Amino acid sequence: MSIYLYELPTTGAVSFADFCVDGSPQDSHTAHMAEATQARANLRGALKENKRADRDEKDYLKLVKVLDDYLPYLRGIMNCVDSGEIAMKYEPIFSWRTTLSANINPLNTSPRLSIPSLYADLAFSLLTYAFALSNLAYSIVNSLGNYERERAISDIERKTKDEKLNFAVTLLCRAAGIFSYLSDSVLLDWSKIEARNTGNVTARPPDMHKEVNAALAKLAIADAQSLAIRKLLSKSAYDSTLTPGPPLPKSHPSPALIAKLHLECASLYSSARSLAMTPGKSRSSSGTSNEISIDLRRYLAESVLFHNALARKWLGVDAGENGGRQKGGEAVAFLIWAKKDLEDLKDSGKSLGIGKEKEQKERKKQKVLEELENVNVFLKHYKKVNDSLSFQPVPPQMDLQACIPAGRLAVAVKPFSSHIPAFGPGSVEHARRQIEELSVLEPGVESEQSSDADKASPFSRETYAGAGSYF
């Protein structure tokens, strides 16, 4: 129906010099730790600024760039701790306010937790990174309006907005990659290290559960696919603005394909909902519920219903347009089913329960009403044709199940590559120092080794500062 808009977390202040001891030669990391502290302070400030800003004034691109600056420093510190170049006086505690928990305190704000380990800060920072990318996609789509229905829009303007829509799809695919990376790598590594060091795993909020992040990855891809469908229908939506319904314009893509794409959306949202509900079956050590927020649960549940309804609509249109007289009854049956689902969605009031703001809720309700009106146009036409020409029986809903095809995926997760450390092992600086040391021992190899290092590490520190240039 739209893109899920995340509430972003906030975090407490941290000084790495308080618990990190520089053990490198000539104390070369002391300045780096100060830079890391400043980069994290910038992140904290950006999150507080985002929290205070009005919805239309939130700068998600700025937040993404701030995270792109901080994460390489955090990676550098973690690598230096692993290599022994930095020692820790004690296990650091990081304070983060969770945003996916169903637990709301008396002030109606999400709970603030203090969690030990550098991995905690890495996990929450990456989660915030994915949230920010998704919200950036939301803001881009929100700025486009219902452009494909504007009769005065030029073909060039429409194509320009199509590209912006496609960019939002890319952002969501990147967010899905980060959620998957959290689920498959970071959270597992964190648990293994905790189990090895302390013998148990720290109780975590839903935000830090493997299943929840796997669910968020599916949600992001489903949102991306829904935008991809919109882009695919952009030209035909414009062409049919004055004359909605059959016959379809020549620019219209295959109704069967559109149905399969919606079916895959519904399947992804359904899988996401099942995964997201998994942690809710248990309770944390403090006795609080591990359930995710009701807002997210409603979004997933309604999205399943909405995309299933649209899939049935397009299966009915495909039968009516391409099935000949033999499928006249089937076309009517699918459209009746789609109409019933959309009416249930409208009348249940659930469409008003998604989202955090009245404007957003009303926009979602309007989308349901628009689709219901469109279904009625097709249903009226195909019913008239079937009653006067085809005379085919209208099969019951149960019989239609066998006619529903498998879904089809049109977008893919963009795998996340961990940020290159700003310093220490794995950094460009570290690689160059090793090359310089090797060249002293073996004169003449510096230029060859430098070339190989450049190939292996294409992002220099200077170029990495613009790693978000795809924005």
What confidence score (pLDDT) does residue 468 get?
40
Which CATH number among 1.20.120.1200, 1.25.40.280, 1.10.645.10, 3.30.70.1060 corresponds to the domain 16-403?
A: 1.25.40.280
What confidence score (pLDDT) does residue 396 get?
94
Amino acid making up residue 100: L
- Segments making up each domain of the chain, as ranges: 16-403, 428-470
Q: What HEC string does the chain produce?
A: CCCCCCCCCCECCCCHHHCEEECCHHHCCHHHHHHHHHHHHHHHHHHHHHHHCCHHHCCHHHHHHHHHHHHHHHHHHHHHHHHCCEEECCCCEEEEECCCECCCCCCCCCCEEEEECHHHHHHHHHHHHHHHHHHHHHHHHHHHCCHHHCCCCCHHHHHHHHHHHHHHHHHHHHHHHHHHHHHHHHHHHHHHHHHHHHCCCCCCCHHHCHHHHHHHHHHHHHHHHHHHHHHHCHHHHHHCCCCCCCCCCCCCCCHHHHHHHHHHHHHHHHHHHHHHHHHHHCECCCCCECCECHHHHHHHHHHHHHHHHHHHHHHHHHHHHHCCHHHHHHHHHHHHHHHHHHHHHHHCCHHHCCCCCHHHHHHHHHHHHHHHHHHHHHHHHHHHHHHHHHCCCCCCHHHHHHHCCCCCCCCCCCCCCCCCCCCCCCCHHHHHHHHHHHHHHCCCCHHHHHHHHHHHCCCCHHHHCCHHHHC
What confidence score (pLDDT) does residue 79 get?
96
For the chain, residues with pLDDT lower than 50 are 106-107, 283-288, 350-355, 445-471
What confidence score (pLDDT) does residue 51 get?
93
As a whole number of angstroms, the distance between CA 98 and CA 262 comes to 32
What are phi and psi for residue 319, nearest 5 degrees?
A: -65, -40
What would the two tokens of residue 256 be? 């069967």
Chain position carrying tokens 């009625």: 376
What confidence score (pLDDT) does residue 439 get?
73
- What pTM was estimated for this model as a whole? 0.89
Amino acid making up residue 174: R
What confidence score (pLDDT) does residue 127 get?
98
Chain position carrying tokens 């294409």: 458
What confidence score (pLDDT) does residue 1 get?
66
